[in-house]
Structure 1
C-alpha cells in the first residue's frame, strides 16, 4: 500500500499502514497487536529504502520484543518490554534520532 510519508511508515502484519505516526499512533498500533494475524508492527523509511527499521512483536508468553536495526551505524539490539507506553516512547525517541541524523544539514 502506498502512503505519503516524509520520515517513516508503520505497517502492521494485519495491513494497517500509518505515515509518520506519532507516539500515540504507535501506542495504538502496538495495543492492537493480537495473535495470529496481527502480531507485529514494523516501522521503517518510506519507499524501498531499508537503511533501518524497528519491529515490535507480540510474544506468546506475554510482553513484546522490540528490535532496533540501523545498518549505517552497525546497530542491532533486541529488548523485551511489557509496557506499551514505554515501548512507544522509546521507539519515538529512537526514530527522532534517526530522522535528525538522516535529514540534518
Structure 2
C-alpha cells in the first residue's frame, strides 16, 4: 500500500472498508449497492486538515447520485449518473487529484 492510498479510505453503508481504492474496486462496490441496508459508499480523506469526501448513493428511482465535497477547496457539487462505470471513473479521477495535491 502506498502513502497515497493510506491517506483515504472507502466504506460502504454496510461497513465494508478498504484503505485506498482502485477504479475496479469502486465499480464492484457500486454494483453491489442495494436497498435498504447498503445504499451508499463514502470515499473520505483521513487527514483532518484536508477534509474532502465523496458520497455515492443509490437513488430509489434508479441511477446514482454523487456528492463531491471539499470544504477547504470551496468545492461542492452533486451530479446524477446512471452508469456505475462512469461514476467509478469520475470519482477515481477526482480523488486522485485531491491526493496528488498533498
- Give the alignment's TM-score, normalised by structure 1: 0.88
CA-CA distance at 1:7 after TM superposition: 2.4
- Distance in 2 between the 1:30 and 1:8 partners? 18
Alpha-carbon separation, structure 2, partners of 1:31 and 1:66: 14
- Could you say which residue in structure 2 is the equivalent of 1:17? 17
**Segments of 4+ moved more than 4 angstroms:** none
Count matched residues.
Answer: 97
- How far 1:45 moved relative to its partner? 1.1
Distance 1:46 1:61 in 2: 32
Query: Structure 2 length normalisation: TM-score?
Result: 0.90
| Map 1:56-71 → 2, pairs under 5 A | 56-71=56-71
Whichever structure has more helix as a proportion of its residues is 2
Q: What is the root-mean-square deviation in Å for CA atoms of aligned residues?
A: 1.2
Cα distance in 1 for partners of 2:7, 2:15 equals: 19
Which blocks of at least 5 consecutive residues in structure 1 are unaligned?
none
